[in-house]
């Protein structure tokens, strides 16, 4: 082959490749895994689900159920859900512990980030009504910097505390979102509506073994983990439900997480279809 034709052929080939790339439709996802929408869940124990993971390690757990429900819709792109949440965490601790930099800052290709904090912030952050909004704004600023292509979605808390405390937290979340020009995913009403079907149907039971009468110790032995009786739902209620504080723990059981997953799927499906239609 004539050597002077090679540069010309390379130029023509490069032009053809660039032309083909230019006419390809842009991908909806900034994917960590090829072809998948990347979704991050960032929050506390009511997002992490440490006890359901202990009691039923194979799940499926919150992030897996969301993936399965989205796939079941049939018309949505494949999604990958990352649950980066931690029991006892509040926004200031997320930063000060280094966990944000370690677990969230460098995740590649995020498209949607759900943020659900407030319960521990209210309990542990001094001057909560002043500092929680500041912390939330700081978190949103960091997420925008580290994940400029992601849609940020502040969430309300579930009915974990009493109604007054929940409203105080959620009002601040709405105020922060308004100032940041973000839409809030309000999970509270759906969860509260489900609780009307049974006030304890969405929380597990976690109770100190030492407070269980000794005559029941043989009965509860299969349910003892780390010196506590831990039961996913209501099977011991007829026998132990009379014990003071038996229903005190309000963390979601798997049914509670399925409520969150189902409502999250509905919210996400709408966003994904809107994005698809653009």
Structure tokens at 176: 């922060």
Cα 147 from Cα 109, distance rounded (Å): 8
Q: Say if residue 239 is in the same domain as residue 182.
A: no
Tokens 């709405």 belong to 174
pLDDT of 207:
98
Packed helices 62-73 and 254-277: angle between N→C axes, nearest 10 degrees: 40
pLDDT in tens, 211-233: 999 999 999 999 999 999 999 99
Apex CA 124: angle with CA 119 and CA 125, to 5°? 95
Q: From residue 205, how far is each of 60, 196, 223 by CA, in Å?
A: 19, 18, 10
Q: Say if residue 149 is in the same domain as residue 74.
A: yes
Provide mean pLDDT across the span 113-142. Answer: 98
Q: Say if residue 81 is in the same domain as residue 142.
A: yes
Q: H or E segment at 247?
A: none
Q: Say if residue 83 is in the same domain as residue 147.
A: yes
Q: Say if residue 186 is in the same domain as residue 58.
A: yes
Evaluate if residue 259 carries a pLDDT over 90: yes
112 forms beta bridges with 39, 151
pTM for the full model?
Answer: 0.87
Tokens 């819709």 belong to 73
Q: Is residue 6 part of a domain?
A: no
Which residues does 102 contact at the CB level (< 8 Å), separation at least 6?
Answer: none
Q: From residue 30, how far is each of 26, 77, 110, 200, 270 by CA, in Å?
A: 10, 12, 6, 40, 19
Cis peptide before 60 (omega within 30 of 0): yes
Q: Is residue 20 part of a domain?
A: no
Q: What is the CATH number of the domain that holds 180?
A: 3.40.50.1110
Evaluate if residue 144 carries a pLDDT over 90: yes
pLDDT of 154:
98
Cα 154 from Cα 94, distance rounded (Å): 16
Q: Is residue 214 part of a domain?
A: yes
Provide mean pLDDT across the span 136-143. Answer: 98
Q: Say if residue 230 is in the same domain as residue 156.
A: no
Cα 230 from Cα 225, distance rounded (Å): 7
Evaluate if residue 10 carries a pLDDT over 50: no
Cα 150 from Cα 153, distance rounded (Å): 9
Give the burial class of 48: count Cβ atoms within 10 A of its Cβ; 0-12 exposed, 13-18 middle, 19 or more buried.
buried
Q: Say if residue 96 is in the same domain as residue 232.
A: no
Provide mean pLDDT across the span 190-207. Answer: 97
Give the burial class of 106: count Cβ atoms within 10 A of its Cβ; 0-12 exposed, 13-18 middle, 19 or more buried.
exposed
Q: Is residue 3 part of a domain?
A: no
Q: Say if residue 90 is in the same domain as residue 139.
A: yes
Which residues does 216 contact at the CB level (< 8 Å), separation at least 6?
Answer: 239, 240
pLDDT of 35:
80
Q: Say if residue 113 is in the same domain as residue 158.
A: yes
Evaluate if residue 96 carries a pLDDT over 80: yes
The number of angstroms, rounded, from the C-alpha of 78 to the middle of its chain's C-alpha atoms is 18
Q: Is residue 187 part of a domain?
A: yes
Q: Is residue 15 part of a domain?
A: no
pLDDT in tens, 45-89: 999 999 999 999 999 999 999 999 999 999 999 999 999 999 999
Structurally, how many domains does the chain consist of? 2
pLDDT of 256:
98
Higher pLDDT, 168 or 35: 168
Q: Is residue 177 part of a domain?
A: yes
Evaluate if residue 272 carries a pLDDT over 50: yes
Apex CA 165: angle with CA 162 and CA 168, to 5°? 145
In terms of residue numbers, what domain contains 110?
Answer: 27-197+253-277
Q: Say if residue 211 is in the same domain as residue 272.
A: no
Evaluate if residue 184 carries a pLDDT over 90: yes
pLDDT in tens, 232-247: 999 999 999 999 999 9
Structure tokens at 208: 């100190």
Q: Is residue 13 part of a domain?
A: no
Q: Say if residue 175 is in the same domain as residue 51.
A: yes
Per DSSP, the three-state class of 74 is coil
Evaluate if residue 252 carries a pLDDT over 60: yes
Q: Say if residue 230 is in the same domain as residue 193.
A: no
């Amino acid at each position: 082959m004539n050597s002077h034709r090679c540069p010309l052929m390379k130029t023509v080939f490069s032009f053809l490749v660039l032309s083909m790339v230019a006419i390809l439709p842009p991908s909806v996802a900034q994917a960590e895994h090829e072809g998948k929408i990347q979704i991050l869940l960032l929050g506390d124990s009511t997002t992490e689900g440490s006890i359901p993971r202990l009691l039923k390690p194979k799940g499926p757990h919150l992030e897996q159920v969301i993936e399965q429900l989205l796939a079941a819709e049939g018309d949505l792109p494949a999604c990958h859900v990352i649950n980066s949440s931690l029991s006892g965490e509040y926004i200031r601790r997320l930063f000060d512990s280094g966990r944000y930099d370690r677990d969230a800052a460098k995740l590649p290709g995020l498209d949607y980030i759900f943020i659900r904090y407030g319960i521990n912030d209210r309990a542990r952050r001094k001057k909560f009504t002043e500092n929680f909004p500041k912390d939330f704004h700081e978190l949103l600023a960091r997420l925008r910097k580290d994940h400029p292509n992601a849609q940020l979605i502040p969430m309300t808390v579930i009915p974990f505390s009493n109604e007054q405390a929940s409203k105080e937290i959620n009002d601040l979340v709405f105020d922060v979102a308004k100032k940041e020009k973000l839409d809030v995913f309000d999970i509270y009403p759906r969860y509260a509506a489900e609780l009307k079907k049974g006030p304890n149907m969405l929380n597990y039971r976690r109770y100190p073994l030492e407070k269980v009468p000794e005559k029941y110790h043989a009965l509860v032995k299969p349910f003892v983990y780390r010196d506590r009786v831990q039961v996913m739902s209501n099977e011991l209620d007829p026998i132990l439900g009379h014990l003071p504080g038996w229903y005190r723990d309000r963390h979601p059981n798997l049914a509670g997480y399925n409520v969150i997953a189902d409502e999250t799927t509905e919210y996400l499906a709408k966003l994904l279809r809107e994005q698809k239609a653009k």
